[in-house]
Chain A
């Protein structure tokens, strides 16, 4: 499947916009992680949403801005290994007590498609939207689902991968040292990309069964999304012509990806 990568959003420690990678201004190794406050949603909603949802909404809007797509019509796929561990922690702590009253807002935010809900409301978007999980291979699961939607719908599709830094007891289940959100706009191969687009990367994605040995032990579940962003920046800056990656999907499969810079654009 050949598609275009036309927008990237990114938020983590020391890296809060894809332009940092494009301009090669360097990532400050001493930077503190800053919780995002996406301007795309009203302050009141931002407070109700919480960190995890705001992380997704921030990178989703960044990617759409870069791609110049219509936020009201783009379908979306959200993916995360552990979902909102801050809300899971809140709910499970409350429910372990004798007095079990839960906040209704926290409860409706606890569904794994909560960010999809806030995103679709903020963008006034009634297109299909989903959340897929694949544990430590969630980014691969999301990329497969999003790619398949690009082909099925024949329109750009937004992919958002995000996980929060973990604390006990989740940290011992899957250690995540820093919160990271990465979003991509994937566009059909022959789609005419708007002139404001900064990035057009050709992706040849081939699903394969069998192991790829690409998952590094202890890697962030969204590491392969971050790798894709880094590779795209290098191609965009002309440091490379072609780049290849294997991105693991759940169980034994992986996606074999060749990235190249689109010529003549």
Chain B
């Protein structure tokens, strides 16, 4: 991902998805994901998780950590919106006459919201507290907030957090029913934006309790609800504002301390306009903001972890990604259109979801 961001290589392409007739762009992995997931746990979502765990030596690093920890002191919080519904959809195409799943879809642990957490816990051998958060597009941002509470309360010594959501017909036809799917690659915050491009992703991070740490610190987390509408954001962005303010307060920082904001920035007319109003609070000489869904697509329940990783990597490299596909901005703040490189100390990432569920995270150089 780091190399792709640096070289300006995005992941959206024209949709060629089986049984899908809606013209759109998707951020997809190869259609057939070849991995060695067991038949009991097999699904597209779990295959993607399996691939992500092997990236950057993550699974090996967890293995090394487990040598030093009491097994019950390593926790896991996964975030997902779709879970393995891709597999449930497939299973429904071959139900038997009595309406039951047929082989190979008889997979009790897969047809459940907890499938990603269950799969990762088994794959990594995690025996501490384990659960799967499902709060739509805020899911894998909220995993950081839950893990932070567990660490603060000494329930665990370390927590694997992650998120995974895969492309499936439910989301393409679902967002199409709300008339939110763009026929073009999405252009967040562009005056002529036309909606979202969907994507799929899995990602992970390891959180430990170490006050003397070098590296990256989760300095604040804020959560809120809009209490307004199931699929439309509050017109004044009340909930979004609360989650940002709570995260900043938790971090003990002001808006002017934040070097970079990774916006939720879906590319729909209403969402970007409302997030724009709220994020006018970052209109200062320091903060630059960008939306990265033009690179990845909207990965829904995985968007939280994907964008947290992008924001955290900015602390390591100083590379602040631009808003791909967007060439003009009317945003009331410094929207970064092209990549920028500069030393970065504090970053904030927004994730807002259906049900009016919001989460903002602040990461800092330790």
Is chain B found bound to chain A in the same assembly? yes
Q: Which residues of A contact B (CB under 8 A)?
A: 1, 80-83, 88, 91-96, 100-104, 107-114, 116-118, 120-121, 123-135, 138, 141, 144-145, 148-149, 151-152, 167-170, 172-174, 207-210, 249-253
B134 engages A112 (CB within 8 Å): yes
- How far, in whole Å, are A96 and B95 apart by their CA atoms in the complex? 10
Chain B residue contacts of A152, Cβ below 8 A: 149, 152-153
A126 engages B130 (CB within 8 Å): no
Contact mask B216-230 → A, CB, 8 Å, 1/0? 000000011111111
Are A126 and B135 CB-contacts (below 8 A) given A107-B174, A250-B121?
Answer: no
Q: Of all chain A residues, which has the CB nearest B108?
A: A173
Q: Of all chain B residues, which has the CB nearest A209?
A: B72
Chain A residue contacts of B146, Cβ below 8 A: 130, 132, 145, 148
Chain A residue contacts of B130, Cβ below 8 A: 134, 141, 249-251, 253
- How far, in whole Å, are A96 and B149 apart by their CA atoms in the complex? 41
Chain B residue contacts of A126, Cβ below 8 A: 224-227, 238-239, 242
B212 at the A interface (CB under 8 A): no
Contact mask B120-136 → A, CB, 8 Å, 1/0? 01000011111111111
> Which residues of chain B (279-325) have a CB below 8 Å from chain A?
none
User: Can you report 12 A-B residue pairs in the complex whose CB atoms are below 8 A from each other?
Assistant: A81-B114, A104-B231, A120-B355, A124-B227, A125-B225, A133-B112, A152-B149, A168-B98, A169-B101, A172-B101, A249-B129, A253-B127
A95 engages B155 (CB within 8 Å): no
B117 engages A250 (CB within 8 Å): yes
Chain B residue contacts of A111, Cβ below 8 A: 81, 134-136, 353-355
Interface residue from A102, A118, A133 paired with B177 (Cβ < 8 Å): A102
Cβ distance B165 to chain A, nearest Cβ, rounded Å: 12
A88 engages B88 (CB within 8 Å): yes
A172 engages B356 (CB within 8 Å): no
Chain A residue contacts of B224, Cβ below 8 A: 126-128
- How far, in whole Å, are A132 and B135 apart by their CA atoms in the complex? 8
Q: Of all chain B residues, which has the CB nearest A93?
A: B92
B118 at the A interface (CB under 8 A): yes
- How far, in whole Å, are A182 and B242 apart by their CA atoms in the complex? 29
Interface residue from A95, A118, A169, A173 paired with B99 (Cβ < 8 Å): A169
A83 engages B131 (CB within 8 Å): no
Q: Of all chain B residues, which has the CB nearest A138?
A: B114
- How far, in whole Å, are A239 and B357 apart by their CA atoms in the complex? 42
A102 engages B173 (CB within 8 Å): yes
Cβ distance A204 to chain B, nearest Cβ, rounded Å: 15
Cβ distance A190 to chain B, nearest Cβ, rounded Å: 17
Extra 10 A-B pairs, beta carbons < 8 Å, given A80-B113, A129-B223: A82-B113, A91-B89, A114-B230, A121-B229, A126-B226, A128-B224, A134-B131, A151-B149, A250-B131, A251-B128
B111 engages A170 (CB within 8 Å): yes
A173 engages B128 (CB within 8 Å): no
Chain A residue contacts of B117, Cβ below 8 A: 133-134, 250
Cβ distance A249 to chain B, nearest Cβ, rounded Å: 6
- How far, in whole Å, are A107 and B230 apart by their CA atoms in the complex? 10
B100 at the A interface (CB under 8 A): yes
Q: Which residues of B contact A (CB under 8 A)?
A: 19, 21, 70-72, 81, 83, 85, 88-89, 91-93, 95, 98-101, 106-109, 111-114, 117-118, 121, 126-136, 142, 145-146, 149-150, 152-153, 155, 169-170, 173-178, 223-231, 238-239, 242, 353-357
Chain B residue contacts of A95, Cβ below 8 A: 89, 92, 169-170, 173
Chain A residue contacts of B242, Cβ below 8 A: 126
Chain B residue contacts of A116, Cβ below 8 A: 135, 225, 355, 357
A129 engages B131 (CB within 8 Å): no
B230 engages A123 (CB within 8 Å): no
Are A104 and B92 CB-contacts (below 8 A) given A80-B113, A207-B155?
Answer: no
Cβ distance B237 to chain A, nearest Cβ, rounded Å: 12
Interface residue from B134, B145, B174, B239 paired with A113 (Cβ < 8 Å): B134
Cβ distance B228 to chain A, nearest Cβ, rounded Å: 7
- How far, in whole Å, are A80 and B113 apart by their CA atoms in the complex? 8
Chain A residue contacts of B121, Cβ below 8 A: 250-251
Chain A residue contacts of B127, Cβ below 8 A: 209, 251-253
B114 engages A130 (CB within 8 Å): no
- How far, in whole Å, are A64 and B155 apart by their CA atoms in the complex? 28
Most buried by A among B81, B174, B226, B231: B174
Chain A residue contacts of B226, Cβ below 8 A: 120, 126
A174 engages B91 (CB within 8 Å): no
Cβ distance A81 to chain B, nearest Cβ, rounded Å: 6
B150 engages A117 (CB within 8 Å): no
Interface residue from A94, A108, A135 paired with B231 (Cβ < 8 Å): A108
Interface residue from B71, B131, B355 paired with A117 (Cβ < 8 Å): B355
Cβ distance B300 to chain A, nearest Cβ, rounded Å: 9
Chain A residue contacts of B175, Cβ below 8 A: 107
A109 engages B72 (CB within 8 Å): no
Cβ distance B76 to chain A, nearest Cβ, rounded Å: 8
Are A121 and B356 CB-contacts (below 8 A) given A126-B226, A141-B131?
Answer: yes
